[in-house]
Structure 1
Amino acid sequence: MTGSMLFGAFMAALLYVLIPGPAFLALLGIGAGQGRKAGALFLGGHLAGDMVWSSLALVAIVGAKTIGTTVFDVLGLLCGFYLAWLGWSALRASKRSDGASMLTVERPLRRGLIFGLTNPKGYPVALATFTALLASSSNALDFQALPLLLSASLVGFLLADGVLVVIIGASLVRRFYRRHELAIVRMSGLLFMGFAVQAIWHAAPGLLGWRKP
């Protein structure tokens, strides 16, 4: 276990939460309409889904490593292409025609739990993000490292959730987001493209036979 592996898991979890996506947009709607407490409850429920998907992603990554580096490289390449597709889709996004309606949720904790566990993009995005940030340490990954990696991920999730709780509900944030929503989405697309480049950069040498043993 190396410090870079723990930092990679921490950053993957942190950015997995902070990069705008369906849950991020739902949280903004709840925070704007019902305040920070409702947003915090939503995030508390969503944390369960975050941990489930990150656990499955780490198990898949470590399992691919124990099977062989080729499988891990193929996984990284596929994840890189998936992230590139997400990034390209975000860069080409346009404003919605239905406008911005306030979201009112009676039980935000339950909504967050259901949202986190049923998000169809939860697993692939977690897999792609963790693969991108842990690819450089793939040779040191094993199942014994999973508890510490999950602990580092949990710290990243909690820190990211804390940051979001602090900022949601502020009138300045609401106005800024609604005014610059399209730019924010496209900036998140650039971040996904950056992750894609990193994932492909680490996977391609192994598949092409350029990586030193």
Structure 2
Amino acid sequence: MDITTWLSLATVCVMGALSPGPSLAVILRVSMSQSSLHGALAAVAHGLGIGFWAFLSLQGLAILMARYETTFAVLTLLGGLYLAWLGTKAWRFAGQGQDTTTSVSQSSYWESARDGFMIAILNPKIALFFLALFSQIMPAEMNSLVKLEIWLTVVLIDSGWYVIVALLLAGGPLLLWLRRHTIWVDRIMGTILISLGLKVVIGTLLTMLSSTV
């Protein structure tokens, strides 16, 4: 892959990672309620989830998803419900995040990674995004090495950005202020997640209904 094509790919991936949305809300929630390490693990897992959709798109499987709209809609609905569940959990356990004076269990690390991965894997629109992107800037014939370069670029940029977000919250006055107001921070983040989830669910249901009329 030539440098011009790679720069085009990297630029679009950076812009996609920087755009605010459900993923950013989840990484922020994990980082603030647990720790920067939890947030970093969620970020890496999220990047692998994005890489899953990139892999499918490179293999052309995303085209099949576009043809089977019901499968696409079901995955999207599950993603919206998962967001709403995370938001409800944030409200339910507001102010009960990880105490930095106690040891952290392995299960909480796993849960953080799970949340980061699931928020990516339950968003099939990412596959269509990559399908459109690859069809515009990638050559028609790609060998395994080029596909690997593309996959690594996508995963590293996404993971890298969200790891930076998690680490920016590590220590300093911002994190101290957030921890002093942790109950309200959790409730605000929970409200955002629930709102995003409901928006996804309602939008998907309306689209399904309109397609059947």
Q: How does the TM-score come out when normalised to structure 2?
A: 0.52
Structure-2 separation of matches of 1:13 and 1:114: 22
1:56-135 matched pairs, under 5 angstroms = 56-60=56-60, 101-102=94-95, 104=98, 106-107=105-106, 108-119=108-119, 122=122, 124-135=124-135
1:204 maps to which residue?
none
2:46 maps to which residue?
46
Q: In angstroms, what is the RMSD of aligned CA positions?
A: 4.5
Q: How does the TM-score come out when normalised to structure 1?
A: 0.52
2:206 maps to which residue?
none
C-alpha deviation, 1:38, in angstroms = 2.1
Structure-1 separation of matches of 2:160 and 2:29: 21
C-alpha deviation, 1:16, in angstroms = 4.5
Structure-1 separation of matches of 2:177 and 2:140: 40
1:147-158 matched pairs, under 5 angstroms = 147-158=148-159
Structure-2 separation of matches of 1:49 and 1:173: 31
C-alpha deviation, 1:125, in angstroms = 3.1
Secondary structure, aligned partner of 1:143: coil
In the alignment, is the contact (CA less than 8 A) between 1:46 and 1:116 conserved in 2? yes
C-alpha deviation, 1:97, in angstroms = 9.6
Aligned amino acid, residue 164 of structure 2: V
In the alignment, is the contact (CA less than 8 A) between 2:36 and 2:169 conserved in 1? yes
C-alpha deviation, 1:146, in angstroms = 0.8
In the alignment, is the contact (CA less than 8 A) between 1:41 and 1:109 conserved in 2? yes
Secondary structure, aligned partner of 2:20: coil
In the alignment, is the contact (CA less than 8 A) between 1:8 and 1:130 conserved in 2? no
Match of 2:175 among 171, 195, 206: 171
Instruction: Single out whichever of 7-16 and 20-29 deviates more from structure 2.
Output: 7-16
Unpaired runs of 5+ residues, structure 2, are 74-79, 81-86, 99-103, 200-213
Aligned amino acid, residue 169 of structure 2: I
Q: Compared with structure 1, are the counterparts of its residues 30 and 97 closer, same or farther at alpha carbon in structure 2 (3 Å cutoff)?
A: closer
1:142 maps to which residue?
141
Q: Compared with structure 1, are the counterparts of its residues 56 and 172 closer, same or farther at alpha carbon in structure 2 (3 Å cutoff)?
A: farther
In the alignment, is the contact (CA less than 8 A) between 1:48 and 1:117 conserved in 2? yes
Structure-2 separation of matches of 1:133 and 1:160: 20
Structure-2 separation of matches of 1:117 and 1:31: 15
Structure-2 separation of matches of 1:58 and 1:146: 7
C-alpha deviation, 1:12, in angstroms = 4.5
In the alignment, is the contact (CA less than 8 A) between 2:46 and 2:119 conserved in 1? no
Pairs aligned (count): 162
C-alpha deviation, 1:132, in angstroms = 4.4
Unpaired runs of 5+ residues, structure 1, are 65-70, 83-88, 90-95, 190-213
2:210 maps to which residue?
none
Structure-2 separation of matches of 1:128 and 1:15: 16
Aligned amino acid, residue 114 of structure 1: R
Structure-2 separation of matches of 1:46 and 1:131: 19
Structure-1 separation of matches of 2:176 and 2:132: 33
Q: Compared with structure 1, are the counterparts of its residues 26 and 126 closer, same or farther at alpha carbon in structure 2 (3 Å cutoff)?
A: same
